[in-house]
Amino acid sequence: MKEVLDDSLGNSNVLSHRSLNQRTIREVVYGIGIGVHSGEKVRITLRPALVNSGIQFIRTDIKGSVAIPAKAENVADTTLATSIAHGSISVATVEHLMSALWGLGIDNLLVELSAEEVPIMDGSAAPFIDMIESAGVVEQLQARKFIRITRKIEVNQEGAVASLAPYNGFKAGYTFVANHEIYDQYPKYVEVDFANTSYIEQVSGARSFGLEKELAYAHSIHKCLGSSLDNAVGLSEEGVLNEEGLRYNDEFVKHKILDAIGDLYLLGKPILGAFSGYKSGHALNNKLARAVLRCDDAWEIVTLKADISSGTGMPILHGQVKSSQA
């Protein structure tokens, strides 16, 4: 693993040699919701954080709770959601918030929670995007670091496969393998290249989903206790139960991409590469992230020049920067 300043993604007609910088939010913002699995009411507060501090979670309902870094090696549970933990203190269902933070390029943030679980909001990443945009995005005075994949890394488990391969930019492809014929009428494969597709417009609104009849099993393992048609797309034998229908025709497979992006952002830095998932979920996404950490000859840390964000290959950078700070 080496660290390099990369300008190969940009055009040569550069106006500035400034590197693309880290970002945090401008001011404190909070929201209230319920945990989808616990059913518990929770207040979430997002606070600006210093450069190189990364994304960290803290439980305000536990006295003396330490901040838990949002890192793949801290993932403690992947049953129907991704949870991180430090000792006996855990934070559940981090993936949709992490996905939104990737979408807006937020590197440093302190997330306070008044209960164990991140609120589910509407089941997508869009409400977190709105929260962060209302707080404002600020650029910090240190270069943002990316993980550039230099050789393919692949993991598999029980017929599911997930991989990362070298790619000039970031794209994600996913194949959804349905467990019920009701899904046959919906797209099962999508590939999104974020150089020409907006995460906010095309992915962030994709909600969690599930079959109505799967809920009984989830309840039996004390999951989805807060689940409703307000925070998920529900399906019966006949089709979508939600009155408003789907937000995208390919909402299910897009949600799997949203989840994968959030799970992989637990690597602490955005990836430059191509993600591919076949039937994969939170467990395999975390296995892939851990494989990346282990195979440090398969990637390098790079910084990029600021003026290439609109150049070929570079993912569209969302979130208008309102001001700069140290």
Residues lying near Zn ion in the complex (CB under 5 A) are found at 208, 259
Whose tokens are 């989903």? That residue is 209
Residues 159 and 175: their CA atoms lie apart, in Å, by: 12
Whose tokens are 């393992």? That residue is 221
- Whichever of 208 and 280 has its CB closer to Zn ion, that residue is 208
C-alpha to C-alpha distances, 204 to 40, 198, 208, 212, 251, nearest whole angstrom? 24, 9, 11, 23, 10
- Whichever of 108 and 208 has its CB closer to Zn ion, that residue is 208
What are residue 272's DSSP bridge partners?
148
Question: Which residue number has the CB closest to Zn ion?
Answer: 259
Shortest spacing between CB 208 and Zn ion, in angstroms:
5
| 318 catalytically annotated | no
Q: Which H/E stretch holds residue 90?
A: strand 89-91
Shortest spacing between CB 96 and Zn ion, in angstroms:
6
Shortest spacing between CB 324 and Zn ion, in angstroms:
33
- Residue 53: count of CB within 10 angstroms of its CB: 16
- Whichever of 22 and 93 has its CB closer to Zn ion, that residue is 93
β-pairing, 160-165 vs 153-157, is antiparallel
Q: Got the DSSP string for 246-312?
A: -SSTTHHHHHHHHHHHHHHGGGSS-EEEEEEEES--HHHHHHHHHHHHH-TTSEEEEEEBGGGTTST
- Whichever of 139 and 259 has its CB closer to Zn ion, that residue is 259
10 Å CB burial of residue 71 (0-12, 13-18, 19+) is middle
Shortest spacing between CB 175 and Zn ion, in angstroms:
17
Shortest spacing between CB 125 and Zn ion, in angstroms:
9
- Whichever of 38 and 208 has its CB closer to Zn ion, that residue is 208
What does the DSSP 8-state code read for residue 133?
H
Shortest spacing between CB 66 and Zn ion, in angstroms:
27
Catalytic residue among 37, 96, 255, 282: 282
Contacts (Cβ under 8 Å, ≥6 apart) of 151: 166, 297, 298
- Whichever of 24 and 208 has its CB closer to Zn ion, that residue is 208
The catalytic residue positions are: 282
